[in-house]
Amino acid sequence: MVLLTFNILTIEAKARNGSPITDGERLKITEDNTKAILRILDIHDTKASFFVEVSLAEKLQNLIKAISSKGHEIAFYNKDSNLEEIENAKKNIQELLEKQIRGIRQKDVTISQEDLKMLEFNYVSNIDNANILFPFKRLKRDTEITEEDGLSIVPESISPYSQLPYNDFVFQILPMKYYQNMVLETLQNEEFVLIYLNSWQFTDFNKYPFDIPFYRGLFSGKKMEDKLDALLTFLNDREMATSRMKDYIF
């Protein structure tokens, strides 16, 4: 099973040459990038899970409704929100969608599993930091879903052969043929592959003058769209099953 997930985040990088990029412009870029992702998923009739950064939930209500209306899962991404902010966002979006928000993802983990369970989350999908050296520091580890404090804990996936994780940077930088082989090899040994990408990776950095590391600009924007399209074409041609996180776990 392939679990395809997207983190909906605004890009935090400063602008080059002091050119101002407002919060409103950053939010518009996030919306446009997410709509590009949705178009590709629609073409391939593939459902995914979207982890919306907590502080953006109120600002992106129309986008969240559009994502949900297409049959995708809405979950939360906690960057630096406190317990009260997460609780309020969860309550508001559940009322908006008339659906329960089951999942949450954190990178720099700050909220305890006990507190997340109290907020009636059902699963946690935590991720690690990814940079240019990150993939080469990973060691083999358990990739099975476990139960802790009444929560399902979903680990990051890692290739059993190359030892590369399925994080946003690895997808962006690897040749698609190599990545496809990673998926095939992993599913021969594991029950699922969890893939996650960030909405900001679909930004056209030639159009928007963000000051980012050179390696983060490689294969971004339209090239990321093409890579996602190629991955979904590959999965469909091979008749490989995909699932939203909540469906697979429960």
Task: With beta carbons less than 8 A apart as the criterion, state whether 110 and 77 touch.
Answer: no
User: How is 72-126 classified by DSSP, letter by letter?
Assistant: PEEEEEESS--HHHHHHHHHHHHHHHTS---EEEESS--S-HHHHHHTT--EE--
User: How is 25-74 classified by DSSP, letter by letter?
Assistant: HHHHHHHHHHHHHHHHHHHTT---EEEEEGGGTTTTHHHHHHHHHTTPEE
Q: What range does the domain containing 130 cover?
A: 2-249
Tokens 């982890």 belong to 51
pLDDT of 114 reads: 93
The mean pLDDT values, 10 residues at a time, for the chain of 250 residues are: 97 81 93 98 98 97 98 96 96 98 89 94 85 51 82 92 89 96 94 96 90 85 97 97 96
Helix (H, G, I), strand (E, B) or coil at 129: coil
Number of independent structural domains in the chain: 1
User: Which CATH number is 41's domain given?
Assistant: 3.20.20.370
pLDDT of 133 reads: 52
pLDDT of 63 reads: 98
Helix, strand, coil % in the chain, rounded to nearest 5: 45, 15, 40
Residue count of the chain: 250
pLDDT of 154 reads: 95
| pTM (2 d.p.) | 0.94
Sign of CA dihedral 105, 124, 51, 161: positive
Residue 206 is classified by DSSP as T
Task: With beta carbons less than 8 A apart as the criterion, state whether 125 and 154 touch.
Answer: yes
pLDDT of 20 reads: 81
Helix (H, G, I), strand (E, B) or coil at 236: helix
pLDDT of 211 reads: 85
